[in-house]
DNA sequence: ATTACTAAGAAGCGAGTAG
DNA sequence: TCTACTCGCTTCTTAGTAA
């Protein structure tokens, strides 16, 4: 089943009606609603409310029993499939228009950096949080990586200064403020930072994320899970427009 | 931000237009499209294509650069947020209108049953597949459990007959054909069976799933992950209508 | 080529009302 | 009360065309 066939100009009014009915179905069993009430929910008249319910029934997206005064509505398997396919299509689209990183087992180099005393103190002061002594490694697609790098160019990084100790010299490190979140959970949008280490040894598009909590636990992650990386410059476009 | 405010009757035409633009954005960088082409994609005229793009720009959902002949369009953060919030809202709705089970560590009783020789041979023959010798335990919400039980009543179960051996007597077991899938992956819809063991010791709404592969690996699951349980009687409604 | 204006035409909505 | 019909009116779309 092709999603584009399901929502097309002729019936996105119906799709919206189904969406609203599903919201009502949250409270479950079946939906008992009059055309007046449904019209109000749609922000339209009783007549249109009635028409929409008719149309949805015709489309086979809902079933109903009219019982004199009241009508009982339920979502059919077809209706649910429509919703599910739109959901899935949206998920695919979002993976294209957002920068998504895939949790991966890293080489813990970032973690090593964080632990170094001379850096750690600076991270604490300049990032605005005391970072967990380890990084979360996220693998980006080529395109996402490209876009991310381009975006980062337009952002002034937080500079962690280099220093020397008895043994060796430590170079400066750049960080970038970001927000990290799961695709399916809007409440947990966590402040974090991209740790920009110039790396020679993995060509792969892996970025390292610093945050106060241990992110794998905080977001309940396993390898392969996907996170949204949000470089919150509000008015910016998400797909790059050079 | 409230999703219901984002898609309302006045602007779902715009929402749909944004959705279509995002599909185009899949191919990335920026979208370079004429109003004629966009009209065609919408199934509408050039004029409307042009108007939609204008409207979307007005809403701040897209940015564009008109460059003589061609215009380059990109999705703004606001636009992406709209899409993301609809995605999330849909996810919530789907969790209400579909039967969703949460992966949980079971007591492995089902697994014990499967392994028993007298049962195993029957499972193999009657389910149409050779089950993995263990079950996946899914916890249901009270409502989902109620609805599932009600649905199962209307389905003729696969009966696995009881038998005796030297030590004890084994009772009959009922199974129900289902399809199991992740919410985010339409390709992997796997044939499985609910193993209906009358259980006294967990009051919790846990069902046990039989399938050929080890489902935790097959779907890459961890505890708490959610699966759709699809009792595929096609013309049936998903929300119960008695 | 494009985008986008205006005016005519089509589609959709709601008032009135029947069943 | 309900749902849902017809019909007038409003809104949106398209044709023609300018920039």
- Put simply, the answer to whether B240 touches A91 (Cβ < 8 Å) is no
| Together in a domain, B132 and B216 | yes
Q: Please report, rounded to whole angstroms, the spatial distance between the CA atom of protein residue A42 and the C1' atom of nucleotide C14.
A: 14
pTM of the predicted model as reported, rounded to 2 decimal places: 0.89
* Rounded CA separation B210/B136 (Å): 7
- Say yes or no: B164 and B90 in one domain: no
CATH number, domain at A14?
Answer: 1.10.10.10
A74 and B8 within 8 Å at the Cβ level: the answer is: no
Task: Read off the pLDDT band of B69 (50, 70, 90).
Answer: confident
* One domain, residues A161 and A223: yes
Q: Do A51 and A125 sit in the same domain of this protein?
A: no
Domain assignment present for B54: yes
Last residue of a domain, one of B96, B111, B143: B96
**Distance (Å) from the C-alpha of residue A134 to the closest C-alpha of chain B?**
23
Residue B88 reports pLDDT greater than 90 = yes
State which protein residues have CB closer than 7 Å to strand C.
A 10, 13, 39, 44-45, 47-48, 51; B 9, 33-36, 46-47, 50, 53-54, 66, 69-71
Residues A222 and B61: their CA atoms lie apart, in Å, by: 33
- Smallest CA–C1' separation from A54: which nucleotide? D4
Protein residue closest to D3, using CA and C1': A50
Identify from A39, A65, A93 which residue to disrupt to test chain B contact, counting B C-beta atoms within 10 A and taking the largest count.
Answer: A93
Banded pLDDT at A27 (limits 50, 70, 90):
low
Chain A residues in contact with B49 by the CB 8 A cut-off are none
In a domain, A184, yes or no: yes
Weakest-pLDDT range from A11-20, B6-15, B87-96: B6-15
At A86 the pLDDT is 92
Is B238 within 8 Å of A85 when comparing Cβ atoms?
no
Q: Do B75 and A94 touch (CB under 8 A)?
A: no
The range of the structural domain enclosing residue A226 comes to 99-230
In a shared domain, residues A111 and A181: yes
pLDDT, residue B120, reads 94
**Among A76, A96, A116, where does a domain finish?**
A96
Confidence tier at A30 by pLDDT (50, 70, 90): confident
Q: How far is the CA of A54 from the C1' of D5 (A)?
A: 13
Q: How far is A149 from chain B (nearest CA, A)?
A: 13
User: Of all protein residues, which has its CA closest to the C1' atom of D11?
Assistant: B10
Inspect the interface and report whether the beta carbons of A87 and B84 lie closer than 8 Å.
Answer: no
- Give the chain A residue whose CA is nearest to the CA of B22: A93
Q: Which of B14, B74, B97 to mutate to test the interface with A (most CBs of A within 10 A)?
A: B97
pLDDT at B32 over 60: yes
Residue B233 pLDDT level (bands cut at 50, 70, 90)? low
Q: Do residues A160 and A220 share a domain?
A: yes
The most distant pair of C-alpha atoms in chain B lies apart, rounded to whole Å, by: 88
Task: Give the confidence band of B107 by pLDDT, cuts at 50, 70, 90.
Answer: confident
Number of domains forming the structure of chain B: 2
If asked whether residues B110 and B219 sit together in one domain, one would say yes
- What are the CB-based long-range contacts (under 8 Å, 24+) for A125-131? A126/A158, A126/A159, A126/A160, A126/A175, A127/A158, A127/A175, A127/A177, A127/A193, A127/A210, A128/A191, A129/A191, A129/A211, A129/A212, A130/A212, A131/A193, A131/A210, A131/A211, A131/A212
Domain annotation covers residue A236? no
Domain with residue B198: its CATH number is 2.40.30.30
Closest residue to D12 (CA, C1′): B48
Asked if residue A237 belongs to a domain, the reply is no
A170 and A71 fall within a common domain = no
Residue nearest to nucleotide C16 (CA to C1'): A47
Q: Do residues B11 and B108 share a domain? A: no
Non-local (6+) Cβ contacts of B122 within 8 A are B160, B161
- For A72-101, write each residue's pLDDT tens digit: 999 999 999 999 999 999 999 999 889 999
What's the whole-number average pLDDT of chain B?
Answer: 87
Q: How many Å from the CA of B86 to C1' of D18?
A: 40
To the nearest whole Å, the CA of B41 is away from the closest chain A CA by 10
Give the 3-state DSSP-derived string for A31-93, with helices as H, strands as E and coil as C: EECCHHHHHHHHCCCHHHHHHHHHHHHHHCCEEEEEECCEEEEEEEHHHHHHHHHHHHHHHHH
Same domain, A61 and A107: no
Domain shared by B115 and B218, yes or no: yes
Nearest chain B residue (CA) to A185: B88
User: Is residue A241 a part of any domain in this protein?
Assistant: no
Q: Are B115 and B130 in contact (CB under 8 A)?
A: no
> Which of B59, B81, B96 marks a domain boundary?
B96
Test A85 with B186 for CB contact under 8 angstroms: yes
User: Quick one: average pLDDT of B177-200?
Assistant: 88
pLDDT beyond 90 at A204: no
- A132 and A202 share a domain? yes
Confidence of residue A159 (pLDDT cuts 50, 70, 90): very high
Nearest CB partner across the interface for A240, out of B30, B65, B220: B30
B74 found inside a domain: yes
Q: CB under 8 Å to B146, separation ≥6 — which residues?
A: none
A228: nearest CA in chain B? Answer: B84
**Domain presence at residue B239:** no
Tokens 């209400």 belong to: B96
Residue from A38, A87, A99 to probe the interface with B (highest B Cβ count within 10 Å): A87
B149 part of a folded domain = yes
Measure the CA–CA gap between B45 and B53, rounded to whole angstroms. 12
């Amino acid at each position: 089943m092709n999603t584009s066939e399901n929502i097309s100009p002729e019936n996105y009014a119906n799709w919206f009606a189904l969406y609203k009915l599903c919201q009502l179905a949250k409270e479950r069993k079946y939906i008992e609603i009059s055309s007046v009430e449904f019209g109000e929910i749609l922000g339209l008249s009783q007549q249109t409310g009635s028409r929409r319910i008719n149309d949805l029934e015709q489309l086979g997206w809902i079933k109903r029993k009219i019982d004199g005064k009241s009508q009982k509505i339920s979502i059919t398997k077809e209706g649910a499939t429509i919703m599910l396919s739109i959901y899935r299509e949206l998920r695919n689209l979002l993976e294209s228009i957002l920068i998504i990183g895939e949790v991966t087992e890293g080489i813990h180099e970032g973690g090593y950096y964080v632990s170094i005393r001379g850096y750690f103190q600076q991270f604490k002061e300049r990032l605005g949080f005391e970072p967990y002594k380890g990084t979360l490694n996220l693998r980006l697609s080529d395109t996402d990586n490209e876009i991310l790098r381009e975006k980062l160019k337009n952002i002034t990084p937080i500079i962690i200064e280099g220093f020397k100790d008895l043994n060796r010299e430590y170079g400066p490190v750049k960080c970038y403020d970001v927000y990290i979140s799961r695709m399916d959970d809007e409440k947990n949008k966590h402040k974090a930072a991209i740790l920009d280490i110039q790396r020679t040894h993995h060509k792969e598009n892996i970025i390292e994320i610093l945050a106060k909590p241990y992110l794998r636990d905080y977001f309940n992650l396993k390898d392969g899970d996907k996170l949204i990386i949000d470089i919150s410059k509000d008015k910016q476009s998400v797909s790059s427009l050079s």
